[in-house]
Amino acid sequence: MTQRESGIYKEEILKDAVFIIGAGHFGSRAARLLNQKSDAPLFIVDVDENNLSKLEDLHVKRIRYDGVHFLMKHYHILNPENIIVPAIPVHLAFEWVKCHSEKKYQAKQISIPEQIKPHLPHTWQGGGGSLLVSYADFTCPEDCPEPECCTISGKRRDRPLYDLLKRLDVLDFRVHIIKSRQLAPGLGGYKVQDLTRAAEDLARLGKWLLGTACKCHGILTGLEVRETAQKQMPAQV
């Protein structure tokens, strides 16, 4: 389909539409899988024209735009049931919450507390100060269907990672985890309403761990929520 410089129209956004944010390796794979699997309207967003041009053969609407800024600009016309597939090398949910909340509260990124690491299976430092978490210490197959037992180790996953992270007990921190649902083998996403709930939950002041996770893999970002500077100003008399 035709590539656009920016923007979409509300009339185009059906309830089952899917928005893939990022058209690199993982985003383009998502577009090809979903193009074969579903008749749902597909949109893919990337600032790189070259990435988008490689998808000309697919029935997908290509939008040249920064992914986080696209969600910020168009969030108000998206359907709560629309699916978002994050495929960029940052914690998309955190970046969106941070920008979306600016008029209501300040969300400042802070370090992940070191004391939680012994309670997590395997961790790596991610981009932008986030923490990557996984049950695997090996490279998983791209088409993993999330079976009850790991396709590589054969070990049973009795507790999904999103549940383990949700139940973290960290001094002075609240926790909010967005569950990533599998859309195809090795491909997950969450609904627009999941972002909305995260933003509403994080409106409570204090320190937070915001995460996105599927059964085996996830990402955590620490943040501190404060009143906006405008709310902190004393009343003028």
CA 226/CA 237 separation, integer angstroms: 25
pTM given for the model = 0.91
Indicate whether 234 pLDDT > 70. Answer: no
Largest CA distance in the chain: 69
**Segments of 151-232 assigned E as strands:** 173-179, 181-184, 187-191, 206-213, 217-227
More confident residue, 156 or 66: 66
Indicate whether 165 pLDDT > 70. Answer: yes
Indicate whether 193 pLDDT > 90. Answer: yes
Directed axis angle between helix 92-100 and helix 192-201, to 10°? 60
Indicate whether 216 pLDDT > 90. Answer: yes
CA 58/CA 176 separation, integer angstroms: 36
Please report the pLDDT score of residue 102 as a whole number.
Answer: 82
Q: Dig out the tokens for 145 from the structure.
A: 């269907």
User: Domain locations in the chain?
Assistant: 1-88, 90-237
Please report the pLDDT score of residue 125 as a whole number.
Answer: 93
pLDDT band at 1 (very low <50, low <70, confident <90, very high): low
pLDDT in tens, 66-118: 999 999 999 999 999 999 999 999 999 999 999 998 878 889 999 999 999 99
Q: Mean pLDDT throughout 26-36? A: 96
Please report the pLDDT score of residue 232 as a whole number.
Answer: 56
Indicate whether 198 pLDDT > 80. Answer: yes
Average pLDDT, the chain: 91
Indicate whether 237 pLDDT > 50. Answer: no
Report the DSSP pairing between strands 3-4 and 61-64: parallel
CATH topology of domain 1-88: Rossmann fold (3.40.50)
Query: In the chain, pLDDT over 70 holds for what percent of residues?
Result: 93
Residues with Cβ within 8 Å of 198's Cβ and at least 6 positions away in sequence, in order, are 93, 97, 176, 178, 210
**Distance linking the first and last C-alpha atoms of the chain:** 59
Indicate whether 119 pLDDT > 90. Answer: yes
Whether the CB-CB separation of 103 and 199 falls below 8 Å is answered with no
pLDDT band at 9 (very low <50, low <70, confident <90, very high): confident
Please report the pLDDT score of residue 6 as a whole number.
Answer: 61
